[in-house]
């Protein structure tokens, strides 16, 4: 791999693609050439970036000749079609879709948890689900210290998880409601503002878990390298523009009091403690938006378990940033 590398972004016009560009600039990620790739309808558009005018190119099988790192955020179907093509052309693909996450030959990486897995790539590295990333960053330090036997998590997921169009519709619904107009319902087929509902992914008729919940269960076991870890999840959409929250209950293998847990979490990478009991200030999506760190608070022993054997935490993380683009950029930094 050349250093600085040739970098391609597949899906550059989407919310995560645009976040890739902001992070490359903010983190001063080095590149010798940057290729901006998107669908045919976006090809030919130009915009200025870092003092240069770029033209968006149509994503084709020939887009990856000479590319060293390919950042993908264009959906699973595109990743399945073009990811192997990019890898065969010599690029290392960092894919933000679910296409390769559970492939046993593809590393699934959260840099704060299993950075060493990057070494095992065979041309493609998978970025985990956004909710999985946010949970794993917060749970891993506890799992390392005393072992986690069981995780019960409820998510409060923002519109950003469904893309820029869902964020736009939530804003439009606010305008509709304020004007007394009919509520626009093109994305989720229901009113989103002043409402919450079960995550919009498909529900397995046998298990009752939806796809988002199943991702968190399976991906966490793979990332932690612990098939015995039990995870139970309920995923919910809430009328928030950006940044997911999660209520996490842990059953521990060894005792850990809340003060020791707070110290562990405060020292862990990628975490910022927001836990003011007196002022009732804890993680909130507005505070987490556009932030790199996962905010962790409401740290307390679980009153429903034996003393020291259970822990409650509440977290907030920017789904577009740490839950997607930042995690991928951190993986790219590991490659360099």
Is residue 282 flagged as an active site residue? Answer: no
Residue 207: its pLDDT value, please? Answer: 95
Beta strands in the chain (DSSP E): 6-10, 33-38, 46-49, 52-55, 57-58, 69-72, 92-95, 124-126, 148-157, 197-198, 230-237, 244-252, 271-273, 294-301, 310-317
- Tokens representing 152 are 């019960």
Catalytic residue among 121, 143, 199, 244: 244
Tell whether omega for the bond before 4 is within 30 degrees of 0, i.e. cis.
yes
Mean pLDDT of 183-209: 96
pLDDT at 164 over 90: no
Q: Could you report the per-residue pLDDT of 120-149, keeping only the tens digit for each? A: 999 999 999 999 999 999 999 999 999 999
pLDDT at 287 over 90: yes
At 208, the pLDDT band (50, 70, 90 cuts) reads very high
What is the greatest pairwise CA distance in the chain? Answer: 62
Q: Could you report the per-residue pLDDT of 31-73, keeping only the tens digit for each? A: 999 999 999 999 999 989 999 999 999 999 999 999 999 999 9
Domain 132-319 classified CATH 3.30.360.10? yes
Catalytic residue among 130, 143, 235, 282: 130
pLDDT at 3 over 90: no
Distance CA 306, CA 256 (A): 11
Residue 178: its pLDDT value, please? Answer: 97
At 2, the pLDDT band (50, 70, 90 cuts) reads confident
pLDDT at 19 over 90: yes
Residues 312/275, Cβ–Cβ less than 8 Å: no
Mean pLDDT of 311-329: 97
Is residue 290 flagged as an active site residue? Answer: no
At 13, the pLDDT band (50, 70, 90 cuts) reads very high
Residue 289: its pLDDT value, please? Answer: 97
Collapsed DSSP state (helix, strand, coil) of residue 239 = coil
Residue 275: its pLDDT value, please? Answer: 98
At 163, the pLDDT band (50, 70, 90 cuts) reads confident
Q: CATH says 6-128+324-335 is which class? A: alpha beta
Mean pLDDT of 228-253: 97
The region that residue 194 occupies, defined by phi over 0 for left and psi between -120 and 50 for alpha, beta otherwise, is left
Segments of the chain assigned to CATH 3.40.50.720: 6-128+324-335
Residue 326: its pLDDT value, please? Answer: 98
Segments of the chain assigned to CATH 3.30.360.10: 132-319
């Amino acid at each position: 791999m050349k250093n600085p590398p040739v970098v391609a972004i597949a899906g550059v016009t989407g919310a995560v693609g645009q976040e890739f560009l902001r992070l490359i600039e903010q983190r001063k990620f080095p590149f010798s050439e940057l290729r901006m790739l998107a669908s045919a309808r976006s090809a030919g558009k130009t915009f200025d970036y870092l003092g240069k005018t770029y033209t968006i190119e149509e994503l084709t099988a020939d887009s990856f000749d000479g590319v060293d790192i390919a950042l993908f955020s264009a959906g699973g179907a595109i990743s399945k079609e073009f990811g192997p093509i990019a890898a065969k052309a010599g690029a290392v693909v960092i894919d933000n879709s679910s296409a390769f996450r559970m492939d046993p030959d593809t590393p699934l990486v959260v840099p704060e948890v299993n950075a060493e897995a990057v070494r095992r790539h065979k041309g493609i590295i998978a970025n985990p689900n956004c909710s999985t990333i946010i949970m794993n960053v917060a749970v891993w330090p506890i799992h390392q210290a005393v072992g986690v036997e069981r995780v019960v998590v409820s998510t409060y997921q923002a519109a950003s998880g469904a893309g820029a169009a869902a964020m736009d519709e939530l804003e439009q619904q606010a305008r509709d409601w304020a004007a007394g107009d009919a509520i626009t319902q093109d994305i989720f087929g229901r009113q989103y503002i002043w409402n919450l509902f079960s995550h919009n992914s498909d529900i397995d008729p046998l298990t009752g878990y939806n796809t988002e919940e199943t991702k968190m269960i399976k991906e966490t076991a793979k990332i932690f390298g612990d098939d015995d870890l039990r995870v139970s999840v309920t995923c919910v959409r809430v009328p928030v523009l950006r940044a997911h929250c999660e209520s996490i209950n842990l059953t521990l293998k060894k005792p850990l009091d809340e003060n020791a847990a707070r110290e562990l979490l405060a020292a862990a990478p990628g975490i910022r403690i927001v836990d003011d009991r007196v002022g009732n200030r804890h993680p909130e999506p507005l505070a987490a938006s556009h932030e790199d760190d996962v905010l962790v608070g409401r740290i307390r022993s679980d009153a429903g378990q034996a003393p020291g054997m259970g822990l409650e935490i509440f977290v907030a993380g920017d789904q577009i940033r740490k839950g997607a683009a930042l995690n991928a950029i951190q993986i790219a930094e590991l490659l360099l």
